[in-house]
Amino acid sequence: MTRSATPVPPVPAPQPAGGWVSCPACGWLLYRKRLDRDLHVCPECDHHLRLSARARIDLLADAGSWTEAHFAPSTPDPLAFTDLRDYPDRLAEAERRSGESEAVVVGTARIGGAEVVLAVMDFGFLGGSMGVEVGRRVSGAAELALERSLPLVTVCASGGARMQEGVFSLLQMARVSCAFGRLREAGLLSVCVLTDPTYGGVSASFATLASVLVGERGAHVGFAGPRVVQETIRAELPRDFQTAEFLMSHGLVDRVESRAELRPLLVRLLALHGAGPVPGAPAGDGSADEGPSADRAEDADEDAEADDTDADPWDVVQRARVTERPTTLDYLHTAFDDFVELHGDRVFADDPAVVGGVAAIGGRRVVVLGHEKGHTVRERVARNFGMPHPEGYRKALRLLDHAESFGLPVVTLVDTPGAHPGPEAEERGQSHAIAEAILRSSRLRVPVVSVVTGEGGSGGALALCTSDRLLVMENAFLSVISPEGCAAILWRTAVAAPTAARAMRLGAAHLRSAGIATAVVPEPPGGAHTDPLAAAGLLRRALVRELDDVCRLDPATLLDTRARRLARISGDDGRPLQTVGS
């Protein structure tokens, strides 16, 4: 099972003469020089042709920044292996053909100015298979990153473990995994780029252990090769089986990128994790007012007190539900300076009703999580109207972990009618997923600032509301049940929804006066949808203010204050529970 199980030949087919290459996927004749300029991507079918390790380094690293790490020569061939040929012969042949001494190249480089350790595999060397030397070099790369406190970027291309080194190869999986585990404990960023193909012992070890997993478009990544799977189940496999896109839709990788987008993405990821300048940070005075519409936010009353926001609860409900109301993704693109979305729960699926990732705002790096409703009918259907499934909450959970690992504060934007009610959601543990998300955020060792931006429907909203600061936008509300649901149960008619909304005192004013919300974020007159940019400016201003405030606290104080804040929330002004003597 850890053998090279891919259906692909280990060495690229010989090239037709005359500077022309035939695309292995569509057969189109490609002029080699043009292909070089196009990063070896077929313009006809977008097939990403395989690249050598050296070409990868040229593609990703800043020009002239590469310094190769040299490893003391080792004694290969622990089994004195011979098949049709002696193993040392095969090694010598692989070295001659690929120009590399092993299937992975390790060194340091800069990517967009950020210093990193870079480990790049070469499929041209015995199919990128992992033997003792590959294990040694990859764990060596992780150790180098630890030693110098640098991020580690790995580019994978491998058929799996190397047969010729037998069980020694197998044990390399444990060796490299341990090294990646130490990297994780140290809070160092690791990014793994999964390229075509990544299988077996490599995909089941370091290739999928990085903090961020990026699949190159069309790359085949899996454990068992498709032929093995096909023979086992004796059924037709989907066309996109084991492609990077397939992995993303199953929640297994954070992103899929075309080859040209890889380097820009790495630059942004590194910057958003503390290597390199914070995106959007003003060069000069460090003030956070460079953002959109900051000027207009200036004269608005930021601390809109409860008394002057006494809007009718039913009006609030309706404004919160306007389809043009800015969504989480809108705010991420207008109120924040940069945002890289990270997809998937790494287990089962990527829930489009919850979006999250790393972002920058006002010179600060944060992890952002939020419900996403979309605007058009098509978008709203695709996003399930912002109603998450368990995998949405599990995506939130793993991004909370991500935030804690890298010491990034968390911002959540809450706007959901509620968690998805349905049999599949129940099968996959909706309650448990919500509960875990609440628990995790209540004990997170980094600050959490939540903003209810629209509908805050029940437990599905609360999963992203457990925080140090809970802001609520002027036309947003938090409720235990929808006003329609409440009316149907207690008034026995959904027509009574406005009455129910008033009875439940839905709206920012009540949340603020009850001490549940810590501040109200003003909106442009008529609601956020009337001037989305201005609304984004107001939100940005509030977030920057709250983050500045809450980021001053050390983790112990933070956890203590958060626990006390949650304990205080009750209808009766927070009388502590007393043990009644018997």
When the beta carbons of 43 and 555 are compared against Zn ion, the nearer one is 43
Q: Does 470 bind Zn ion (CB under 5 A)?
A: no
When the beta carbons of 290 and 401 are compared against another protein, the nearer one is 290
When the beta carbons of 27 and 422 are compared against another protein, the nearer one is 27
Which run of H or of E encompasses 522?
A: none
When the beta carbons of 26 and 174 are compared against Zn ion, the nearer one is 26
Name 277's Cβ contacts closer than 8 Å, sequence gap at least 6. Answer: 113, 271
| Residue 29 binds which of Zn ion, another protein, none (CB < 5-8 A, kind-dependent) | another protein
Residue 41 DSSP one-character state: B
Compute the least distance from the CB of residue 195 to Zn ion, in Å: 17
Closest C-alpha among 448, 453, 463 to residue 367: 448
When the beta carbons of 181 and 264 are compared against another protein, the nearer one is 264
551 is in an annotated binding site: no
User: Rounded CA gap, 314 and 405, in Å?
Assistant: 42
42 is in an annotated binding site: yes
156 is in an annotated binding site: no
| Residue 183 binds which of another protein, Zn ion, none (CB < 5-8 A, kind-dependent) | none
| Residue 293 binds which of another protein, Zn ion, none (CB < 5-8 A, kind-dependent) | another protein
Residues in the interface with Zn ion (CB under 5 A) total: 8
Compute the least distance from the CB of residue 131 to another protein, in Å: 41
Cα 524 from chain centre: 32
Binding site for another protein (CB under 8 A): 19-20, 29, 31, 33-34, 44, 282-284, 290-295, 330, 333-334, 532-533, 536
Contact region with Zn ion (CB under 5 A), list: 42-50, 360-368, 407-415, 475-483: 42-50
User: Rounded CA gap, 350 and 342, in Å?
Assistant: 10
Contact region with Zn ion (CB under 5 A), list: 44-52, 89-97, 163-171, 340-348: 44-52
Q: Does 25 bind Zn ion (CB under 5 A)?
A: yes
Compute the least distance from the CB of residue 488 to another protein, in Å: 38
| Residue 42 binds which of Zn ion, another protein, none (CB < 5-8 A, kind-dependent) | Zn ion
Compute the least distance from the CB of residue 34 to another protein, in Å: 5
Q: Does 26 bind Zn ion (CB under 5 A)?
A: yes
CA dihedral (452, 457, 463, 466) positive or negative: positive
Q: 45, 237, 490, 495: which one contacts Zn ion (CB under 5 A)?
A: 45
Compute the least distance from the CB of residue 288 to another protein, in Å: 12
Q: Does 29 bind Zn ion (CB under 5 A)?
A: no
Compute the least distance from the CB of residue 17 to Zn ion, in Å: 19
User: Rounded CA gap, 31 and 551, in Å?
Assistant: 55
Closest C-alpha among 545, 473, 465, 546 to residue 326: 473
26 is in an annotated binding site: yes
Phi/psi region, residue 286 (left: phi>0; alpha: psi -120 to 50; beta: rest), is: left
| Residue 26 binds which of Zn ion, another protein, none (CB < 5-8 A, kind-dependent) | Zn ion
Compute the least distance from the CB of residue 510 to another protein, in Å: 32
Q: Does 312 bind Zn ion (CB under 5 A)?
A: no
| Residue 40 binds which of another protein, Zn ion, none (CB < 5-8 A, kind-dependent) | none
- 360 class by beta-carbon count within 10 Å (0-12 exposed, 13-18 middle, 19+ buried): buried
Q: Does 23 bind Zn ion (CB under 5 A)?
A: yes
When the beta carbons of 297 and 349 are compared against another protein, the nearer one is 297
Beta strand segments in 304-353, E:
338-341
Q: 5, 42, 472, 520: which one contacts Zn ion (CB under 5 A)?
A: 42
User: Rounded CA gap, 246 and 349, in Å?
Assistant: 10
Compute the least distance from the CB of residue 302 to another protein, in Å: 18
> Which residue type does 33 have?
K
> Which residue type does 368 have?
V
How would DSSP label each residue in 194-255?
EEEEE-HHHHTTGGGTSSEEEEETT-BB-SS-HHHHHHHHTSPPPTTTTBHHHHHHTT-SSE
When the beta carbons of 19 and 181 are compared against another protein, the nearer one is 19
CA 387, 392, 394 angle in degrees (round to 5)?
145
| Residue 334 binds which of another protein, Zn ion, none (CB < 5-8 A, kind-dependent) | another protein
Q: 36, 44, 295, 298: which one contacts Zn ion (CB under 5 A)?
A: 44
Compute the least distance from the CB of residue 287 to another protein, in Å: 11
Compute the least distance from the CB of residue 403 to another protein, in Å: 23
| Residue 25 binds which of Zn ion, another protein, none (CB < 5-8 A, kind-dependent) | Zn ion
Name 482's Cβ contacts closer than 8 Å, sequence gap at least 6. Answer: 417, 418, 457, 458, 497
| Residue 333 binds which of another protein, Zn ion, none (CB < 5-8 A, kind-dependent) | another protein
Checking DSSP bridges between strand 354-361 and strand 190-198, what pairing results, if any? unpaired
User: Cα torsion for 480, 483, 487, 488, to the nearest 10°?
Assistant: -80
Compute the least distance from the CB of residue 547 to another protein, in Å: 20
Cα 83 from chain centre: 44
Closest C-alpha among 217, 218, 221, 220 to residue 257: 217
126 with 98: CB under 8 angstroms?
no
- 515 class by beta-carbon count within 10 Å (0-12 exposed, 13-18 middle, 19+ buried): middle
Peptide bond before residue 238 is cis, with ω within 30 degrees of 0: no
As annotated, the binding site includes: 23, 26, 42, 45
| Chain residues in the site for Zn ion (CB under 5 A) | 23, 25-26, 28, 42, 44-45, 47
Q: Which residues are annotated as a binding site for Zn(2+)?
A: 23, 26, 42, 45
